[in-house]
A and B are shown apart, each in its own frame.
Chain A
Amino acid sequence: MAVTAIFGARVKRREDPRLITGRGRFTDDIRLPGMCYAVFVRSPYAHARVSRVDVSKALKAGALAALTGSDLDGKVGPVPCAWVITNAEIRVPTYRPLAIDKVRYVGDPVAVVVGESPEKAHDYAKLVEVEYEPLPAVVDQEEAMRSGAPQLYDDVPNNVAFTWRLSGGDIEKAFSAADVVVEKRLVNHRLQPAAMETRGIVASYEASSDSITAWITSQNPHIHRFLISAMTGIPEHKIRVIATDVGGGFGSKIHVYGPEAVVTYLAKTLGRPVKWMETRRENFLATIHGRDHIQYVKLAAKKDGTILGLDVRSIANLGAYLSTAAPGIPTWLFGLMLSGPYKIPAIRCEVMGVLTNTAPVDAYRGAGRPEATYLLERMVDILARRLGMDPVEVRRRNFIEKEAFPYQSVTGILYDSGDYLAAFNKALEKIGYAEFRRRQEEARRQGKLLGIGISSYVEICGLGPSRAVRATGFGLGLWESATVRVHPSGKVTVYTGGNPHGQGEETTFAQIAADQLGVPLEDVEVIHGDTGMIPFGMGTYGSRTTPVAGGAIALACKRVIEKGRKIAAHLLEVSEQDVEFRAGVYSVRGLPEKSVKIQQVALASYAAGSRELPEGTEPGLESTAFYDPENFTFPFGTHVCTVEVDPETGMVKILRYVAVDDCGVRINPTIVEGQIHGGVVQGIAQALWEQAIYDNNGNLLTATLSDYAVPTAADVPEIETDETITPSPHNPLGVKGVGETGTIAATPAVVNAVIDALSHLGIEHIDMPLTPARVWRVLRETRKGESAK
C-alpha cells in the first residue's frame, strides 16, 4: 500500500471530541429508568468449604433480589473455557458464576444482591450470612504441585490442569554438540492489568421483544453475547451487547466472567435494568491477572555464540479456574515464539498449567509473547557474558537474515517478513552504543553504575488464520467481518467486528475506507461494538484489529468497487473491462474525461432504473466480507535502554529509551507511536515496579491502586521512537499490528540494562521487579561476598 494523503497520514482522531468533552458513553454512564444495582458478595478466604449461605436478612431488609450459587444452579451455567488446548491432556474444572460448595480464591463470589441504589445494594450485601470452613491455601505454582499440597479439585490431581509439549529439531544433538550450556531459573511474575475503567454491565430486559440489551465493558461484544447466551439459555439473537466506549482492556475485558451472565439473568427475571460495576478492589481481586511463569531454561551454544538449542520447562500459575483463553496463553502463544528473531535449530518446550488459590490468570497485553521474549533476551545476554562476548555480537550472529523470509521456525510457524538487523542497527546507532560503552567504563572508574540493555523481538499477532488457531484448540476461528455500505448520497458507513477501546480504529479504519473508495475522510463513519448493528465479529486483542479487521474492510471495499464497476460501465455505456477505477472515479480506459464518480454510481445503484442499473444486478452498493487471513503477522524490532543504578539505594533511573519498531505499513503514524509509548511504559513497569503479591494465606496484598504500582508521569522516561517498514506480504494492507510490541520488548530491555550496570560486580541475574529494595539487597550481598574474600 502506498502512502497517500489519507492512508499513512497523521490524521487527528475522531474518537477524541466526545472523550475530551465528557460526552463518551462508558458502561457506567448508562442510566435507564427503573435501574437497580447489583453487588456481589465475595469470599474473604482463599480456600474454604461453604457450609451455609443465607440471604434471608438481605431480602427482609428490602433487597430486590438475593441469590446464592444454589439458587442459580441450572439457571446460569458455568463459565466456559474457550481454549481447550491441543498437544495436552487437559482437565477443565467447573467454574461456577457463584461458588456453591467451595470457594477457591479471595474474591470468589458466593451471592449477589440487588438494591434500589448502589449504596443500598452494598448494605444488603453486608446482611448476607456465609459460613466458611477455611482450608489451607496454596498460591505458588511449584508449591501447589508438591505432594501433600492443598487440592483445589478432587478430579485435578496435584492441581495440574495440563502438561503441554511442543518441540522441533533434534534437541539431544544440539546439547551434545554445545560448547557451552547456560541454565537459569527465571520468574516472570504476576501482574494486574489495571485498566482505568473497571469491569461492569448494565443489562435491560425489553418485554415487548422478549430481548436483552446489555452494555458491557467488552473487547469482543459478540463473544460476550455468544457465551452469555450459552450460560443463561437466553437465545443469542435475543441479546444485544453494546460496548462502544470501553476504558481500556489490555486483555482483561476479552474474557467472560460469571457476574456479567448473572446480571443478565437478573435483568430478565426482575424485568428491570440492572447495573453492576466492580469496585477497584474487586477489579484487582477477581478480574484476571497476567503472566506468572516460573521458567527453567537451558540454552546450548557454540563458543562463537551460535545458538544450537533451547530447552524450556515452564510452570504457569493459572489461578483458581481456567478463564476463557487461559490454557492457550502460557502454551501456544509462548511456545510458538521461543525462537524469537534467531535461527535456533532445536527447541523443546514443556509447560505445566497449575491451579492455585489465586485469581484466574489469562491474557494480559502481550499474553505469552512477553514471557517468551523475556526468557530469550535474558538468556542471550547471559550467554554473551559467559562467553565474554558483547551481547550485540551474539545477537548479530544469530539473527534470521532478511533473505530467509518467509522463514519457517523450528516451532512450526512461518514468519512473514523481516529485516531484523536493519532495525537492530538503527536502534544501536540512535542510542550511540559504542559511545555509551566508553561512558560506562569511565563511570565505573568513578564508582557509578551505568548499564545498557538490548531487547530484540519478533512477535506473533494478527490472530489469526482460522485453521491454524482451531488446530491449537481455540474455540472459534479468528477471521474478522466488515460491512462497507455506500449510502445513496455517497456517504459511507463501515461496520467492523473489531472493537477498538483506545487503539483509534474509528480513525484508521476510516482512513482505509476513504483511501480505498476515494471518498473524503469526513464522509466515512466507522461503527463498532454493537451486536445489533454489525455482523458477528471476533473483537480486539492480540494486535489483530488492524491486520485482520482492516483486511476485512479492504476486502469489502474491493467488492464494493467491483460492483460499482458494473454500474459505471452501464452508465458510461462501455464494457466492464474498459472501466478503470482510481481515487473515487470510474473512467473509460483511454478516455479519462468520460467518467462517473463513485457517489454517482451509489445513487444509481439505489435508483435502480433501467438507465441506472444493468439487467440482473441487485440494487444497492454495499458488501459484507468475512476475511480469514492466510497467515499471522510478525512485527519485530529492537529496543535499547540505558540506566543508572544508585549504588547506595538500588534505585534504577532510566536515562534514555529507544524503540525501533517495524509493524509493517503504518496507517496513522501518530497512533502507532501512541501504542508504542503506552506499551513500553507497561513493559518498563513490569521490569521495575509492578507485581501482584499474595501472602501465604492467599490474601492479595496489592488490591488497591495505593499498593499496586501503576507508574505515574513522574516515574517514566520519554520514549524515543523510530521505525523500519517491512510490509507483511500476507494481508492486503501490508500491516502487522502494534498493540503489544511495547510490553513484549520493554521488559527485557530494562532488565538487561540494569544487570549490565551490575555485571562487573559478578551479578548475572535478578528476578523482577527490580525495585530499589531488591537491587540494594543483591548489591549488599555481593559486597559482603567481596569483603569476605
Chain B
Amino acid sequence: MAQKGLVEITVKVNGRVVKRAVEPRKLLVNFIRDDLGLTGTHWGCDTGNCGACTVILNGRSVKSCNVLAVQADGAELLTIEGLASDGKLHPIQEAFWENHALQCGFCTPGFIMQTFWLLKQNPNPSPEEVRKMLAGNLCRCTGYQNIVKAVLDAAAKMRR
C-alpha cells in the first residue's frame, strides 16, 4: 500500500520495470529525474516550449513536463540513458557528435529523443521537414544548423 496521499505506479523505464509511490501532482520529468535518478532528461521551462524534457512514452515523443507521473502508470518509457545499447552509441548520438550538433549540451537529450521519434515517422526527411519537426525544441547555442545536419546524417545512417 502506498503511503497516504501517494499513488503507486509501475513503469517500464529503458527496459526495466520500476514501481514507485508518487505524489499525484508530481510531473513525469521530476519523477524521471528525482525518483529514478535519470538526470539526462532536463527541465528548461514551465510551459512546454523548450523540449529539453522530451522522452518517448509508449513510442511517442512527449514533453515530460506536461505529463503527470501518474499518467505514465503502466507505460513504457525511453529516456536518453536508454538509447545507447551495449556501450554502443545510437546512430543519432553518433551523428550529433560527428556534426558538432551541440555546444552546452543542455537541450541535446531532448533534441536526440525528438529526432528518434521523428525519424520513425519519416525516415527520409528533407532539411525543411527536419526544421519543422524540430520546431518544438529550443537550442540557444547552435543556431540549429548543425542539428539539422546531424539529423539528416542520422537518417542516412539508419536507412543503411
Question: Which of A97-105, A254-262, A454-462, A707-715 is near enough to bind chain B?
Answer: A707-715
Q: Is A782 in contact with chain B by the CB < 8 A criterion?
A: no
Chain B residue numbers with a CB within 8 Å of A681 are: 143-144
For chain B residues 70-106, which have a beta carbon within 8 Å of chain A? 79-81, 83-84, 89, 93, 96-98, 100, 102-106
Q: Check B46 against A704 for contact (C-beta < 8 Å).
A: yes
Closest chain B residue, CB of each to CB of A721: B145
Q: Name A's interface SS.
A: loop
For chain B residues 102-155, which have a beta carbon within 8 Å of chain A? 102-109, 112, 127, 130-132, 134-148
**Bound CA span A703–B158, Å:** 40
Q: Check A24 against B97 for contact (C-beta < 8 Å).
A: no
Given A279-B46, A713-B148: A16 in contact with B97 (beta carbons within 8 A): yes
Chain B residue numbers with a CB within 8 Å of A23 are: 40, 81
Given A279-B46, A677-B146, A716-B143: A20 in contact with B138 (beta carbons within 8 A): no
Q: Name B's interface SS.
A: loop
Closest beta carbon of chain A to B99's beta carbon, Å:
9
Closest beta carbon of chain A to B5's beta carbon, Å:
12
Q: Is B58 in contact with chain A by the CB < 8 A criterion?
A: no
Q: Check A678 against B46 for contact (C-beta < 8 Å).
A: no
Chain B residue numbers with a CB within 8 Å of A705 are: 44-45, 47, 49-50, 138
Chain A residue numbers with a CB within 8 Å of B130 are: 713
Given A20-B96, A22-B39: A706 in contact with B49 (beta carbons within 8 A): yes
Contact residues on A (Cβ < 8 Å of other chain), bracket: 35 or more
Q: Is A281 in contact with chain B by the CB < 8 A criterion?
A: yes
**Bound CA span A198–B65, Å:** 15
Closest beta carbon of chain A to B65's beta carbon, Å:
10
Q: Check B105 against A502 for contact (C-beta < 8 Å).
A: yes
Q: Check A713 against B140 for contact (C-beta < 8 Å).
A: no
- Partner of A281 from the list B46, B100, B136, B141 (CB cut-off 8 Å) is B46
Q: Is B41 in contact with chain A by the CB < 8 A criterion?
A: yes
Q: Is A201 in contact with chain B by the CB < 8 A criterion?
A: no
Q: Is A780 in contact with chain B by the CB < 8 A criterion?
A: no
**Bound CA span A710–B106, Å:** 16
**Bound CA span A281–B134, Å:** 23
Closest beta carbon of chain A to B117's beta carbon, Å:
15
Q: Is B28 in contact with chain A by the CB < 8 A criterion?
A: no
Q: Check A248 against B97 for contact (C-beta < 8 Å).
A: no
**Bound CA span A305–B40, Å:** 56
Chain B residue numbers with a CB within 8 Å of A245 are: 104-105
Chain B residue numbers with a CB within 8 Å of A16 are: 96-97, 102, 105
Q: Check A21 against B41 for contact (C-beta < 8 Å).
A: no
**Bound CA span A29–B107, Å:** 14
For chain A residues 1-49, which have a beta carbon within 8 Å of chain B? 12-13, 15-26, 28-29, 31
Q: Is B160 in contact with chain A by the CB < 8 A criterion?
A: no
Q: Is A503 in contact with chain B by the CB < 8 A criterion?
A: yes
Q: Check B142 against A674 for contact (C-beta < 8 Å).
A: yes
Chain A residue numbers with a CB within 8 Å of B89 are: 20-21
Question: Which of A130-138, A189-197, A345-353, A615-623 is near enough to bind chain B?
Answer: A189-197
Q: Check B47 against A20 for contact (C-beta < 8 Å).
A: no
Chain B residue numbers with a CB within 8 Å of A28 are: 33, 39, 42-43
Closest beta carbon of chain B to A247's beta carbon, Å:
3
Closest chain A residue, CB of each to CB of B103: A502
Interface string of A679-694 (1 = CB under 8 A from B): 1111000000000000
Chain B residue numbers with a CB within 8 Å of A24 are: 40, 105-106
Closest beta carbon of chain A to B107's beta carbon, Å:
5
Chain A to chain B: the 3 pairs with minimum beta-carbon distance, closest first? A22-B40, A247-B106, A19-B105
Cross-chain pairs A/B with CB under 8 angstroms, 22 sampled: A13-B100, A16-B96, A19-B102, A20-B112, A22-B81, A23-B40, A28-B43, A119-B23, A195-B140, A196-B52, A196-B104, A196-B107, A250-B140, A674-B142, A677-B143, A679-B143, A704-B49, A706-B49, A712-B144, A714-B135, A716-B143, A742-B143
Interface positions of B (Cβ within 8 A of A): 23, 25-26, 30, 33-34, 37-47, 49-50, 52, 79-81, 83-84, 89, 93, 96-98, 100, 102-109, 112, 127, 130-132, 134-148
Apart from A22-B79, A195-B106, 4 more pairs, CB < 8 Å:
A20-B105, A674-B142, A713-B134, A713-B148
